[in-house]
Structure 1
Amino acid sequence: MEIQSYIGNFAPQLSLHERALRIFESLDIAESSRTDYKSRIWMFLEFIQAHPFNQNSFLEFKRYLAARNDIAIATKSKYLTVARVFLKELNRQGIIPADITQNVKSFQQTKKHKKFGLNQEEVNLLLSELNRLPESFSNVRLKAIISLLVFQGLRQIEVIRLNVEDISPGQMTALIHGKGRDDKEPIDLHPRSVEALKHYMDYCKVRSGPLFVSSSNNNQNGRLSTKSIRNIVTAFLKNLNIDNSTHGFRHYFTTKLIELFSNDLLTVAKFTRHKSVETLQVYNDNISRKNNLPKYYQAFNE
């Protein structure tokens, strides 16, 4: 049976993809999640259009993803999650008669970080190179962005959500719209972050609205996107032969604090704003593993 047979009475004038987007619009979720769902649902829609839709379609889609060698397990999990959310909502709205996602497990992933953050040598190098850059809109903006990544450990989405009104240089604080949160929370700014932000706002004459804006012709003075932030930062890292990502800064920030506060994870969580101390334990385990490597090497050298 084709999926259209089930949802034919739901906005019949729209294509299947358009109907799926309409479904996501009705969900009470963060806009970042909605955008992610909309961008990933296409794979499941293509799958069910190519295969008869039945009570095992979700399980079959999982097996299809599992058999693909060109997609990382983390990405497979995201595609599966989007399909699960979509099908559950179809059932909740009475569009399909049953929740066919029940008893189908998610992909199992290790909690260990597969990618590591920047190390101190790399951070020292990029900060040194930043100081050598000539002053321009792009360079001053880059310095401000990297200050928030290095000294505050902000996520990409948190950086782009910042407004000028969220920054209080005098009080050395900022209001952050964090991941999965409905309201903003105050954080303390490092003196070097305050210095970089004040210089950026003065030099680039950013007075109100989005803190980080574009200088491109297509989006003049519009808010930067997460993709723009990622491209700006990774291009700078690539020029320094540093093979890492924007999230590598958060790994660096978190690891640095765990080492500084002697594994006091509750204190570290207040600065990193991790909801779960269990997540921080993964960082702690990585630090312990690295510290124990010399003993492991020595054991077999003898």
Structure 2
Amino acid sequence: MFRTMIRPLFKNKKFIIGFSIFLFFLFLGIFGPMFYRVDPTEMTWDYEQPPSSAHPLGTDTYGRDVLAQLLHGIRSSLYIGFLAAIISLVIGTIIGSFSAVKRGIVDDVLMGITNIVLTTPSILIAILIASYLKVRSVEMVAVILGLFQWPWFARAIRAQLMSVMSREYVYLSVMAGYSDLRLVIEDLIPTIATYAFMSFVLFINGGIMGEAGLSLIGLGPTQGISLGIMLQWAVLMEAVRRGLWWWFVPPGLAIVAVTASLLVISTAMDEVFNPRLREE
């Protein structure tokens, strides 16, 4: 099944381009800090130096190596994006699938909760929660973001699975005495695998952008370095006004490139798996 889903994607040019860009930054985040062994928090007297052989992307106001910060920042931002995406995917799948299977009062309650979260300005709630936490690890930021991304996915899953519930093989499974959990895992979830994968890509995008937004207003991780934190430091030290382009351009470009590649991947997947958008 996995091979059947993946093989058509690599025939789509958009997917290949988007996936290649994302894979490039993924490798940078995973292996970059291993090969470029410079402490991103180490302060030196080489402050605000432009790119040179000693510091390929220059240094910031405190003499810290920008390239080292970038490599560690890419790793942290991708980690937050993946963790937030997993949390959102799990919550959305559980609520959407059991809402479709149970119907009745359970469906009403679960969809009521979903609608409340959906209509709540999630970024404001995330800001409020983050502002009350004095210490925010990258995992905590990912949890905060992941708790508010899932409602649209849960509603979409519910709608798709309710149509699947009317199929004969599902009736046979119910007559055979399958439990709700077994019915969801064996009969329902496989039918939404491609849509779930597409949504997972968008959740990663949302996690990365959400972290950058929180960090820019000073509510990002208090431990470690991320792309958003790099931009926050650059803004606080007025790097744009003072022309320190090597400080704010790399993290900005990295965020744009990664999020754009994820959007291209999602669009390409929609073209491949959606018959209405499939190229003739």
Q: Which bin holds the TM-score, normalised by the shorter protein?
A: under 0.3
User: Greater helix share, 1 or 2?
Assistant: 2
Report the TM-score, using the length of structure 2 for normalisation.
0.22
Work out which of the two has the higher radius of gyration on C-alpha atoms and give 1 or 2: 1
